[in-house]
Structure 1
């Protein structure tokens, strides 16, 4: 039982981690590019908001005819789930720049690259990490759904526990999911506090 649990936990983390990486790789540059253009920003955040309203299980069902079963559709569905909090938090970070900060940057004649690295990035990082924290916890919790399309993970143990009436397995697996979610939340909370202390 323990070896199965460890293997499933590893798969669970791989799925959630890959989804979070994809969402970050897409969401951060997308938000940075659209934050300063009102119309594009409104359209982008509107689309992201719609994506956030879609249930993960529904996205899995939509991807199934094209991608089949396995980890890939599970990863993409979770990436879609993780994208909104990341993009929205980065956008909020960009808009959190005070007028004074912008005026100082203008007065110093900072170029776009220097302005981003010295002014915008430090101001955006705490909120961006807060969004990453939310997305990470959501990915860990929702990755249990991967089992329904053959993606594996800790959802397998939960389903086996339900099917066989094995309460020990069910509680152990569900507890592992909760522990992973708490661990991710705690780790990213530390990063958020560290970023806030550095600003």
Structure 2
């Protein structure tokens, strides 16, 4: 059975939750449950390609860091349990997507950044992700094309790209095992 999702323009509170220039980025919300690593992999491949950067604010189970080290995946550690990981291969994407899926399904957010000339140090999040708006002090937003905030209840896309800057364009990027609820969408 297909999983249902809806796509809408983000509400003002979501738009204001991140300190980006409001006129430069479109903000689209995708409501869905059952965020899987296959969904994350599909979105990355269809929307961006590689490289992308994953920001894990918390690796709460402890084994995530061990997994990165044992698989020789370099990461930038910005707190005792937070990491920024440059994903530039299919193998890394598969492994990091699995970690992201577990974190998201346990109530944490995971960020994915795509842009030009980004570095791990650019993407250090604030110490407290609950503080709004989120401010990435080191990030030159002119380098950023798209930012995904993946949560247990869906995904928010902040983008400059004309390829996915409206709800009508998003279904192209969602895998076919998800079903679009047109009645709940801004389409």
TM-score of the superposed pair, with normalisation by structure 1: 0.24
Question: Normalized per residue, which structure has more helix?
Answer: 1
Structure with the larger strand share = 2
User: TM-score under structure 2 normalisation?
Assistant: 0.25
- Which structure has the larger Rg over C-alpha atoms? 1
Higher RCO, Cα 8 Å, sep 6+: 2
